[in-house]
Amino acid sequence: MIYTGLDLVEKEWPKRLKGARVGLVVHPASVNGRLEHAADIVLKSKRFKLNAFFGPQHGIRGETQDNMIEWEGFKDKKTGLPVYSLYGNVRKPAPEMLKDIDVMVIDMQDVGSRYYTFIWTMELCMQACLENNKSVVILDRPNPIGGHITEGHVFNAGYESFVGQRPLPVRHGMTIGEIGNYLKNEFYPALDFHVIKMKGWKRRMWFDETKLPWVLPSPNMPTLDTAIVYPGMCLLEGTMLSEGRGTTRPFEIFGAPFIEPEKLIKRLNGFKLQGVFFRLMYFQPTFQKRAGKLCGGAQIHVGDRKKFKPFKTAVAIIKAVHELYPKEDLWKQPPYEYEMVKMPIDILAGTNRLRNDIEKGERIDKMEEWWSEQRREFDKTVRKEFLMYEL
């Protein structure tokens, strides 16, 4: 049996914070095993008093569908409590938002990738709480794609954005509580910080092995299959290729109107990628890039998730398209996630080296060497210090 931090919040609440006024940071997947939302559970607590809600990208219950759609705060009809947006005019809680609370309780399901913005909302909450003498309690949850596999580049200084504020591999292999532990110790040592750990979770577990219910943490993360491909396929947001938003299988489906699926599949098969099969297809996105246009492309089918490398796979897709269609304008232009100058693909990759290597025709195994070397160094010198769960 797996117990999340939310399941254990009453039992494991820090004694020194008894009776504290709480601000709760939640999203749609902030539920327990019985699908009760954290807002309802925390509201009934006798250990502390709920005074406000805070919502990240997409809102506290999924109010916004698309990415980069801002939303503004409102009053919760059920409780009458304020709901503050952390994806609107502000990303970081303002002092006036914190005036009636003593503790920020953060309960958000991450999906195991550096691009996913919830971990960076957590960091900005940590910053604000340190500056305003507030405490932070993280209710920990599983990394749905396992806490034992890492992949991809650790981004370079100068490429900070809301899809990467601190050094982490693209596939980081950590829980949100472990990332909070890393951020606190490396960057905010004076913060009063607590993690309510899970019980029963092991690092090698995938989400479907936990027996916990999957709830969409964001509108375009409908299944565990989506989360498995996301650490690579989110790179396509930095291109003019559709990453499948506006279809029923976002990030698993990809393509563009100019792509001939048979040619693309043949080129992709030449990379001999492990654990993955590409099924050629045509599709028509209903919104976002290429909306209403017939696109040629493929769907990713992961046959062996233990061998599958999502980051390498996505780089192979972008490289294949670049080689097959050199006259097409492949790279999306700024702005992207509030970065107005740097290329979106560079922001996502955390470096311009990936784009430059693709443009000059570098072999994919040579590219993998440099990003793997950086990942191994981070794992060895930083990540291992903050892991809280056994394999």
Confirm if 220 and 245 have CB atoms less than 8 A apart.
yes
pLDDT at 149: 98
| CATH number corresponding to 9-219 | 3.40.50.12170
Confirm if 87 and 54 have CB atoms less than 8 A apart.
no
Q: How many residues does the chain have?
A: 391
| CATH number corresponding to 224-359 | 3.90.1150.140
| Bridge partners, 75 (sequence order) | 82
- Three-state SS for 202? coil
Confirm if 13 and 41 have CB atoms less than 8 A apart.
no
Beta strands in 203-321 (DSSP E): 253-256, 276-283, 295-302
Domain with CATH 3.40.50.12170 in the chain: 9-219
Question: CA-to-CA distance for 111 and 198, rounded, in angstroms?
Answer: 16
User: Which residues have CB under 8 Å from 158's CB, separation 6+?
Assistant: none
Q: Return per-residue pLDDT of the chain as tens, 391 residues.
A: 999 999 999 999 999 999 999 999 999 999 999 999 999 999 999 999 999 999 998 777 655 545 555 557 778 888 899 999 998 889 999 999 999 999 999 999 999 999 999 999 999 999 999 999 999 999 999 999 999 999 999 988 899 999 999 999 999 999 999 999 999 999 999 999 999 999 999 999 999 999 999 999 999 999 999 999 999 999 999 999 999 999 999 999 999 999 999 999 999 999 999 999 999 999 999 999 999 999 999 999 999 999 999 999 999 999 999 999 999 999 999 998 878 899 999 999 999 999 999 999 999 999 999 999 999 999 999 999 999 999 9
pLDDT at 187: 98
- Three-state SS for 10? helix
pLDDT at 60: 79
Confirm if 132 and 190 have CB atoms less than 8 A apart.
no
- Three-state SS for 113? strand
Determine the Cα angle at 296 with ends 371 and 286, to 5°: 95
List Cα–Cα distances, 340 to 8, 140, 238, in angstroms: 42, 34, 13
Question: CA-to-CA distance for 94 and 223, rounded, in angstroms?
Answer: 34
- Three-state SS for 51? strand
Question: CA-to-CA distance for 28 and 14, rounded, in angstroms?
Answer: 25
Question: CA-to-CA distance for 143 and 246, rounded, in angstroms?
Answer: 26
Domain with CATH 3.90.1150.140 in the chain: 224-359
Question: CA-to-CA distance for 234 and 323, rounded, in angstroms?
Answer: 20
Query: In the structure encoding, which two tokens stand for residue 360, read together?
Result: 């000059």
